[in-house]
């Protein structure tokens, strides 16, 4: 079997092939729902699925790989093949995707000598091991080996970051040496600077955009007259940041753009077809100085896609089916059912434990003269606590936190002094040591998501230094809180609202497992575990997202456990399970 091209036409086994692809990230969808999402892609009229591969998930610790369970990309691709879908795989090594650090593992950021995304030996050595291991799972599924993977992407939008052509050519060599003998391509934003920085003549180049399709594809045709014209990411919607509004786009506008592809025979990849969820701490972030600096992405990756976060068909889905039929595409009958949704009612929280009491059980502490970044202590995600003791007797002084790229909650002698959040905080916090003999200073820093796009992708988490009126503070106990061991918590107190960072344990009864959405309206900021699985973050005062998606496979018949960690303090313990999401303030 073969997949090639001649001029502007793709050829599948020497026959013309029209590419209608949709993006579904297997790592954002519970594996129990892969078949459902892929079937709905097929029944919408698409013939191909595209997915990124997240390096940080598959190699969470250097040299330790995981391609099992929800990370079994081979199973995902095989499921697509069973349904008659072809596949495009984009292993990066950088993927952007509004994903934590653009897919780079945190351990890669620990050493400043590792220069990312360039022809640097140490970096290339590490990424080659990852790529070779990943391609082991993809190689048997390549079209050249009788599988359904027709193309693979080299790097990702590289021209928006750099221009090291030697690096790109070396990546192609690694792909080929590892057995990726399918069609390879690069992709970039539709402008000349990105094109010249991110493309190489050896393989096709595609463009990413969400509008101005005529103009963008005319430019691609001018630059690459001898290859197919493809939008490798047609942005049908957009993602949300905390403090932002929920993005929407109507079906008419989307279909107007897609009709240009169909009329002219252009290939496209619909990004996203099913967005899914940034479970756990896997959301990425952007950096916009004019919007407050560090801007983390919310938990939902709904993206205003044809399938909603929970997999329901949207108006865009049905409009696309009609459009495809208009252009003579054989659209299958609808057989896939929507998932059952249930409103299980209120969650009853019965026990709690403060973070201070939990530290000996879930934290590991090291001493350092100066604060260390999270990566330098071997931690990847979650929270980190910096504690020191200083002599009192001084007047009011500014507390200066350096290297903080996220959000810190500061405590003085156990009492909350305030919150400092990157450049959103316009003034420094102030410490008054006048009447204090000793001051115990605790600084809780949350990794709210590493930057996934642009020059700041080497985004480190935690603190680099702290000072009072120019005097550096030395002698720190640094406690790692990855929050991946909460089974060790000892819930010894009756649950009640608290103004301190606290874990709350509750439960609800499910007569039958079904999709549901939890609304933690009485809480402020933190994350939630359902039966031990981290479903993601909430941030009520920031919005826009007000509920978190709980897929049915996470539930069991009978009692289900809910653990909420709230870092900011609660006025009430109200949380309710609804049968519909609330992704906006309204």
The set of catalytic residues is 157, 233
SS (H, E, C) 250-273: CHHHHHHHHHHHHHHCCEEEEEEE
- Write b or e for each residue in 1-32: b if 16 or more Cβ atoms lie within 10 A of its Cβ, otherwise e: eebebeebebebeeeebbbbbbbbbbbbbbbe
| Residue 1, both tokens | 């079997």
Q: What values do phi and psi take at 468, rounded to 5?
A: -115, 115
In terms of Cβ atoms closer than 10 Å to its own Cβ (0-12, 13-18, 19+), residue 394 is: middle
User: Helix axis angle, 73-82 relative to 34-44, nearest 10°?
Assistant: 40
Which runs of E-coded beta strand occur in 372-482?
A: 383-391, 397-402, 407-412, 415-421, 429-431, 438-446, 465-468, 471-472, 476-481
CA distance 473 to 20: 58
Tokens for 119, please give them: 């022809």
Distance CA 381, CA 483 (A): 8
Greatest alpha-carbon pair distance for the chain in Å reads 84
Beta strand pairing call for 576-578 and 345-346: antiparallel
Strands 267-274 and 230-235: parallel
Query: Is the CB of residue 379 less than 8 Å from the CB of residue 385?
Result: no
Token pair for 172? 């192609």
In 210-358, at which residue ranges do the beta strands (DSSP E only) sit? 230-235, 267-274, 285-288, 293-296, 345-346, 348-354
> Rounded to an integer, what distance in angstroms lies between the CA atom of residue 525 and that of residue 449?
14
- Rounded to an integer, what distance in angstroms lies between the CA atom of residue 61 and that of residue 82? 33
Place of tokens 């790989």: 65
Beta strands in 111-182 (DSSP E): 149-153
Given its phi and psi angles, is residue 580 left (phi above 0), alpha (psi -120 to 50 degrees) or beta? Answer: beta
Q: CB of 563 within 8 A of CB of 507?
A: no
φ/ψ of residue 310, rounded to 5:
-95, 10
Centre a 10 Å sphere on the Cβ of residue 220 and count the other Cβ atoms it contains.
Answer: 23
DSSP 3-state assignment of 280?
Answer: coil
Q: Is 278 helix (H, G, I), strand (E, B) or coil?
A: coil
DSSP assignment letter at 172: H
The span from the CA of 333 to the CA of 310, in Å, is: 21
């Amino acid at each position: 079997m073969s997949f090639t091209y001649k001029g502007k036409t793709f050829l599948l086994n020497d026959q013309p092939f029209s590419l209608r692809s949709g993006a579904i990230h297997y790592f954002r969808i519970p594996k129990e729902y892969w078949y459902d999402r892929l079937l709905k892609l097929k029944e919408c009229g698409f013939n191909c699925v595209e997915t990124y591969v997240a390096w940080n998930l598959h190699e969470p610790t250097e040299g330790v790989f995981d391609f099992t369970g929800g990370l079994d990309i081979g199973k995902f691709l095989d499921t697509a093949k069973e349904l008659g879908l072809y596949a495009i795989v984009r292993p990066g090594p950088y993927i952007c995707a509004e994903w934590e650090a653009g897919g780079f593992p945190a351990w890669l950021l620990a050493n400043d000598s590792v220069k990312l995304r360039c022809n640097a030996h140490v970096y290339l050595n590490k990424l080659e091991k990852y790529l070779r291991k990943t391609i082991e799972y993809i190689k048997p599924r390549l079209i050249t080996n009788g599988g359904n993977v027709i193309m693979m992407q080299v790097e990702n939008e590289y021209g928006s970051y750099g221009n090291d052509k030697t690096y790109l050519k070396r990546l192609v060599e690694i792909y080929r040496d590892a057995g990726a003998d399918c069609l390879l391509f690069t992709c970039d934003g539709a402008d000349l600077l990105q094109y010249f920085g991110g493309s190489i003549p050896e393989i096709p180049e595609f463009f990413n955009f969400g509008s101005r399709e005529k103009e963008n594809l005319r430019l691609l045709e001018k630059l690459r007259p001898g290859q197919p014209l493809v939008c490798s990411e047609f942005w049908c919607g957009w993602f949300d940041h905390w403090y932002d509004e929920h993005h929407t786009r109507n079906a008419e506008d989307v279909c107007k753009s897609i009709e240009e592809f169909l009329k002219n025979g252009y290939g496209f990849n619909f990004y996203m077809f099913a967005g899914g969820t940034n479970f756990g701490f896997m959301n990425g972030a952007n950096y916009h100085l004019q919007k407050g600096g560090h801007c983390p992405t919310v938990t939902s990756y709904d993206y205003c896609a044809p399938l909603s976060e929970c997999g329901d068909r949207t108006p865009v889905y049905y409009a696309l089916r009609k459009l495809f039929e208009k252009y003579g595409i054989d659209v299958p009958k609808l057989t896939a059912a929507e998932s059952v949704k249930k409103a299980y009612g209120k969650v009853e929280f019965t026990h709690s434990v403060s973070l201070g009491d939990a530290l000996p059980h879930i934290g590991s502490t090291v001493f350092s003269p100066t604060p260390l970044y999270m990566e330098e202590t071997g931690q990847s995600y979650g929270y980190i606590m910096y504690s020191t003791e200083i002599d009192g007797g001084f007047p009011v002084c500014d507390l200066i936190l350096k290297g903080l790229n996220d959000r810190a909650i500061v405590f003085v002698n156990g009492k909350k002094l305030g919150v400092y959040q990157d450049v959103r905080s316009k003034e420094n916090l102030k410490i008054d040591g006048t009447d204090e003999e000793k001051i115990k200073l605790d600084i809780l820093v949350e990794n709210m998501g590493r930057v996934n796009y642009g020059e700041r992708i080497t985004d480190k988490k935690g603190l680099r230094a702290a000072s009072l009126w120019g005097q550096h503070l030395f002698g720190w106990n640094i406690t790692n809180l990855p929050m991946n061991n909460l089974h060790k918590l000892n819930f010894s107190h009756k649950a009640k609202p608290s103004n301190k960072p606290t874990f709350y344990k509750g439960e609800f009864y499910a007569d039958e497992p079904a999709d549901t959405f939890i609304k933690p309206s009485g809480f402020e900021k933190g994350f939630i575990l359902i039966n031990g699985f981290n479903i993601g973050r909430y941030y009520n005062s920031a919005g826009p997202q007000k509920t978190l998606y709980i897929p049915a496979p996470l539930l069991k018949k009978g009692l289900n456990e809910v653990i909420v960690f709230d870092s900011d303090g609660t006025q009430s313990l109200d949380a309710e399970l609804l049968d519909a999401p609330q992704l906006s303030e309204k």
